[in-house]
């Protein structure tokens, strides 16, 4: 029995939620290593539990790839699948329960085609990467996707924006007033910490990407103004 057969059984048990895990070599055998799906909306998304990933590596597992199911629809990779594969650096195997078909996407340098309407993927399509991509598209400035913890949970325990932004040539402004297009707004996020950034794009609008939502433009209204605690401006 191959790891694919093992995964199919597991995916059918987890349906209608998305099932996920690792493809790994453990004790000389290529196997499916189950991982808990810790996404908030497990019907539409998946997020591997980093503790399950670490356990596989602790047991001497050689990670070959990630595998997850699409309970409905085809096995065609979504933009979120492509982004996730780029972020972790492993192939993503996808199994459609509805169509009983397989697909695979491999890291290839892929980037999301649009700033608006992206599905959220930690580290690859999130509040920071949409800002980096805006600078590249509008100003041809390369801002690094600075390395963060593997899991959003670890990041939220110790957000690093205040330390990372100056290293990336974004400098704190004296006030949160007098915004200019391209200013980065550091906001209160989950756990009442400065864990979310948005980009001021002029005309009282912001571009941002909140966790488990689509990236969007929104009015910089009172709720966002009150959440903004610091403003950073890029200086080459």
The per-residue DSSP string of 126-179 comes to: SHHHHHHHHHHHHH----------SSHHHHHHS--HHHHHHHTTEEE-S-S-S-
Please report how many Cα atoms fall inside a 13 Å half-sphere around the Cα of residue 131, on the Cβ side.
30
- The pLDDT value given to residue 1: 60
The residue ranking higher by pLDDT, 21 or 211, is: 21
Residue 173 has pLDDT above 80, yes or no: yes
Which contacts of 147-151 are long-range, i.e. CB under 8 A and separated by 24 or more positions? 148/123, 150/50, 150/53, 150/123, 151/47, 151/50, 151/122
Q: What is the pLDDT of residues 81-121, one digit of tens each?
A: 888 888 888 999 999 999 999 999 999 988 877 899 888 88
Strand partners, 171: 233
Task: Give me the pLDDT at residue 172, please.
Answer: 95
* Confidence (pLDDT) at 186: 96
Q: Which residue has the tokens 């009282």?
A: 204
Q: Inform me whether the pLDDT recorded for 162 exceeds 80.
A: yes
Q: Which position has the token pair 């909306």? A: 41
Mean pLDDT score of the chain = 90
Read off the DSSP letter of residue 215. -
Contact predicate 220/209, CB 8 Å:
no
Out of 43-47, 125-129, 171-175, pick the least confident. 43-47
pTM for the model stands at 0.68
Delineate the domains of the chain, giving CATH numbers in brackets.
3-105 (3.40.140.10), 127-234 (3.90.1720.10)
Average pLDDT, integer, range 114-135 = 89
Residue 172 pairs in a beta bridge with 232
Burial of 90 (0-12, 13-18, 19+ CB in 10 A): middle
Q: Whose CA is closest to 89, among 43, 53, 59?
A: 53
pLDDT recorded at residue 236: 72
pLDDT tens per residue across span 182-200 = 999 999 987 788 999 999 9
Task: Report whether pLDDT(36) > 80.
Answer: yes
- CA–chain centroid gap for 211, Å, is 8
State residue 42's pLDDT score.
Answer: 66
């Amino acid at each position: 029995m191959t790891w694919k057969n093992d995964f199919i059984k597991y995916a059918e048990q987890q349906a209608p939620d998305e099932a996920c895990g690792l493809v790994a070599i453990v004790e000389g055998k290529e196997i499916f290593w189950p991982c808990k799906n810790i996404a908030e909306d497990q019907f539409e998304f998946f997020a591997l539990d980093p503790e399950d990933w670490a356990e596989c590596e602790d047991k001497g597992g050689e990670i070959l790839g990630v595998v997850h199911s699409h309970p409905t629809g085809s096995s065609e990779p979504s933009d979120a699948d492509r982004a996730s594969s780029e972020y972790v650096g492993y192939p993503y195997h996808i199994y459609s329960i509805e169509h009983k078909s397989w697909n695979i996407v491999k890291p290839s340098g892929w980037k999301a085609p649009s700033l608006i309407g992206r599905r959220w993927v930690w580290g690859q399509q999130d509040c920071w990467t949409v800002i980096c991509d805006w600078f590249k598209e509008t100003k041809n400035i390369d801002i690094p996707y600075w390395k963060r913890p593997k899991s959003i949970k670890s990041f939220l325990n110790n957000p690093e924006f205040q330390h990372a932004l100056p290293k990336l040539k974004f400098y704190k402004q004296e006030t949160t007033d007098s915004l200019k297009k391209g200013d980065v707004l550091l906001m209160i996020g989950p756990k009442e910490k400065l864990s979310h950034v948005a980009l001021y794009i002029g005309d009282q609008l912001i571009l941002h990407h909140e966790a488990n939502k689509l990236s969007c433009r929104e009015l910089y209204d009172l709720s966002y103004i009150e959440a903004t605690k610091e403003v950073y401006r890029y200086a080459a």
